[in-house]
Structure 1
């Protein structure tokens, strides 16, 4: 929100991005009324924004429903092109995924969410469609918990206060006291494991990626049922994941800071 920036804040830009943000993986095609509700706009205003964005090529429409067009990728492509971490991480993730026959990923923290910036998938498909750019609530994921645990306490609590902490499955740690305790444990032991808390059948383990003394990202391995035993996690998954994260950290650390 604008806050104290009213002298320069352009409200129409905020509304434009509210309209674009209305299109999600769960609702990729939406009507004018649906966008109006999601973006907190009147139907007439939403229609004007949608038609303008369609004319500019950022949306497409069949006359009833709208969806993002390929040109919308331009908004994020420049950021990804200048983010060297994905390119550095990819060969290490490929090796990790091949060794474990599991999906390996790297995420960064963005507000209250984690964003996937690199991913190498195993041959089998997960129940959740995940790709580069996918966002999940940080508190409910192994990578997010690693990243949150390394924030200073005030920043961490502020992000958690802004998060919608709710129960996704019977396994979800949705109590703030328990979540704070879990984040403290993650910080102390250096890794996080989440077992079917965000979606049934989806489990993962994550460790930090560092640049110098700063945790800048997290690396993750998705856990298939045959790799969920504690012995397998400690003897196979974690050592190989830590090795990959350390290799990514080493390669990333030699790149000059922008």
Structure 2
């Protein structure tokens, strides 16, 4: 192992496990139910292979089948809960998020980067500010979120090039910056200022401000933010009102994460 990564030979890979996980990941908010043909198309597996994996998941209780469509069962939450329960990070973040919410009166969240997306690992919610519900396990595109831009700031030029080679950039609102040149400039600005502000790029009516969380070695381990409704706080007021409690939490967490 080097730098937190594992060196392995292709023969060390278990292809069946990789394909089984691909089947699980084929289900999402837009596709909660899949036919056999759809699952095969999404994963690139043959119908016969997709059928075997889906039937195995059903047999083990991780999926359900109604005679036409497959869907994930609640048992699948065990896989996500395994991370939450085994990692000390969410538990260490939660008190700080609750303190931020108490000070600002707004919802506060923490996320990590997973591929081209962020994944929420802890949250203190005071009110619902988005059309979709946010909670632990929610995934959102990194490029158009304040949390994501903070986390992308840790990449060097090669890392960013790899990110943009795989990220699907779309304009989610009229304000979304969705070109590589604009996003590189935005990420550079985050590195310079130490925080990221999102002005209705993910969803109209939603603004947020995020900062990185460092460990004792100065490495970014996650990001934390505060989200507000645009009608309640102007863009100009956000750094003055939201940055102090976030920076206080950033300083406190450096000693314990």
Choose which of 29, 33, 47 in structure 2 pairs with 1:29: 33
Q: Specify the alignment match of 2:255 in structure 1.
A: 250
Identify the range of structure 1 (139-148 vs 61-70) with the bigger mean alpha-carbon deviation: 61-70
Identify the range of structure 1 (41-50 vs 13-22) with the bigger mean alpha-carbon deviation: 41-50
Is the contact between residue 123 and residue 135 of structure 2 (CA under 8 Å) also seen in structure 1?
A: yes
Choose which of 236, 239, 247 in structure 1 pairs with 2:244: 239
Identify the range of structure 1 (219-228 vs 140-149) with the bigger mean alpha-carbon deviation: 219-228
- How far 1:11 sits from its partner (Å)? 2.5
Deviations 1:122-176 (A, max 9, x none): 2335212221111222112111111111222222221222211222221111121
Deviations 1:73-117 (A, max 9, x none): 222322222211110111111121122221110011122221111
Q: Specify the alignment match of 2:230 in structure 1.
A: 225
Change (3 A) 1:121 1:231: same
Is the contact between residue 112 and residue 222 of structure 2 (CA under 8 Å) also seen in structure 1?
A: yes
Is the contact between residue 215 and residue 253 of structure 2 (CA under 8 Å) also seen in structure 1?
A: no
Question: Does residue 1:130 correspond to 2:162, yes or no?
Answer: no
Q: How many angstroms apart in 1 are the aligned matches of 2:237 and 2:57?
A: 50
Question: Does residue 1:15 correspond to 2:15, yes or no?
Answer: no
5+ residue gaps, structure 2, are 1-7
Q: Specify the alignment match of 2:79 in structure 1.
A: 75
Question: What SS does the corresponding residue of 1:164 show, helix, strand or coil?
Answer: coil
Matched ranges for 1:203-222 at <5 A: 203-212=207-216, 213-222=218-227
Question: Does residue 1:190 correspond to 2:164, yes or no?
Answer: no
Q: How many angstroms apart in 1 are the aligned matches of 2:138 and 2:131?
A: 14
Is the contact between residue 129 and residue 227 of structure 2 (CA under 8 Å) also seen in structure 1?
A: no
Question: Does residue 1:180 correspond to 2:166, yes or no?
Answer: no
Question: What SS does the corresponding residue of 1:230 show, helix, strand or coil?
Answer: coil
Is the contact between residue 209 and residue 226 of structure 2 (CA under 8 Å) also seen in structure 1?
A: yes
Question: Does residue 1:66 correspond to 2:83, yes or no?
Answer: no
Question: Does residue 1:156 correspond to 2:160, yes or no?
Answer: yes
Q: How many angstroms apart in 2 are the aligned matches of 1:8 and 1:249?
A: 36
Moved beyond 3 Å, runs of 4+: none
For normalisation by structure 2, the TM-score amounts to: 0.89
Deviations 1:31-82 (A, max 9, x none): 2222122112233332222111100111122222222122222223222222
RMSD: 1.8
Question: What SS does the corresponding residue of 1:171 show, helix, strand or coil?
Answer: coil
